[in-house]
Chain A
């Protein structure tokens, strides 16, 4: 990695599904340890961009680089090994595993012990397993989940499931964390907690975060920089203050006629 390379760089990325251009010419960068928000009205292509970065889709045109390395053609699991972790908009924990094992399953990316080692069960296997167990417990206690470690993951309350999904992503030791609409379905109190949580992760783990989010309050509250999409095109890229007053953004969200709603929404933020 060249020190001048950003953590993530998208260069004129486009994707077409048949005749439909879902995303065209998207250009932005995320510096290491930067917290960036990606917003846009419904159907603007936020999730498509997210899926392009995580390897679910491959771009039709353009280049995506992580620390200077091209991500084109790599599968999601290869991206995770490089240091990109993600969460899902609709929580996808492993339902038949406990809280502990959900995190443990994600640890194996950084665990060198494979099948033969699990069968032979030598000393290094046990020390490896102990190390995994220790780091799982550390992570769980940081996020106040250690008391629920034996519970089925899907039996947790909604907010705790969201938290666990983030913990599971962090267990792969990423340098970039992608959060897909983490505030979806949360009440105002939970949203406040989520904002705290995201800020905390950003400081504690010193990683870059890309937050794809619908909720203006959350994005305005935590992000250092915001990228706005509309109809698959980037219409703005700037600080929360700049975005707040950006005429194109206001128009995209509310059309020209009633700016009042927008002002009301950002005033609450």
Chain B
């Protein structure tokens, strides 16, 4: 539900296929934390513990994002996509072979702490952070880097730092999304975070329009809801996605939902 975090992707134009990996880092960290602490603290503190676990899950994912991001963000486009895809798969394989988190069978018996309220709260936080960042003089740097790295560099904007920052922020929210996911499904397995999950996120961003938050949110909701309605053809989902993207690239390269473009004079 909160995969609107993918909108971070759009703003620096970095094409990452590793977000499922970062989601899993957040999910596993948070799940392990709550599983360990659930017996130790009284029930009335569980919501607080859950919130802290979510944030720590986000932080762990951000650290993973930093480690992956610093070397790989020197690459661009296709190369970056492949490296992040690889990184996501590496993270998944690490989980699969770590007995402490259940290996291939994953973690189960996670308390069902994710409520609509929590999901909504974290979604609002994500959107707030993204909007605040972008609607500032500082945030214009992200768009400048996405538009033209060389020109941004010449304007005193350090492209590497901006890209890594965006990547880490994106990983942080992917981590939180993973934590929420884990506490919703109550069980997580490594195969739940394969690269197709990353493709899901990327499709949402592309459908919504790169770097356009409202569009991405609408697309995220749509793409979570649609498969539920179309269970019968679930096996053909990836084919449908591919067709959707091809159609979109031809018909509306700026994204499905384009709202008024950013106006200059308003500093909100």
Contacts and interface: CB of A to CB of B under 8 A. Distances in A.
Contacts of B263: 98, 150
B168 to A, nearest CB: 10
B139 interface: yes
A188 interface: no
Given A75-B153, A80-B155, A96-B211, A149 B140 contact: no
Q: Tell me whether chain B's interface is mostly helix, strand or loop, or mixed.
A: helix
Contact of A109 (B129, B156, B264, B265): B156
B141 interface: yes
B226 interface: no
A108 B156 contact: yes
A244 to B, nearest CB: 33
A76 B181 CA distance: 43
Given A104-B140, A111-B137, A98 B262 contact: yes
Given A77-B153, A77-B157, A100-B265, A94 B133 contact: no
Given A94-B151, A118-B138, A105 B133 contact: no
A150 B144 contact: no
A63 interface: no
B165 interface: yes
A172 B156 contact: yes
B139 A118 contact: yes
B141 to A, nearest CB: 6
Contact of B140 (A75, A85, A101): A101
Interface string B134-160: 001111110110111011111111110
Nearest to B13: A96
A106 B146 CA distance: 14
A93 interface: yes
A81 B153 CA distance: 10
Contact of A105 (B150, B152, B265): B152
B145 to A, nearest CB: 9
Contacts of A101: 140, 143, 262, 264
A37 to B, nearest CB: 21
Nearest to A172: B156
Contacts of B232: none
A86 B154 contact: yes
A150 B138 CA distance: 19
A108 B140 contact: yes
Given A113-B138, A115-B133, A129-B136, A105 B264 contact: no
Interface in A158-182: 168-169, 171-172
Nearest to A125: B136
B132 interface: yes
7 contacts: A77-B153, A77-B158, A81-B156, A117-B136, A119-B133, A129-B267, A149-B264
Given A98-B262, A168-B155, 5 more contacts: A94-B148, A101-B140, A108-B140, A113-B137, A128-B137
Interface of B: 129, 132-133, 136-141, 143-144, 146-148, 150-159, 165, 211, 261-265, 267
Interface of A: 54, 75-77, 80-81, 85-86, 88, 92-101, 104-109, 111, 113-115, 117-119, 121, 125, 128-130, 132-133, 149-150, 152, 168-169, 171-172
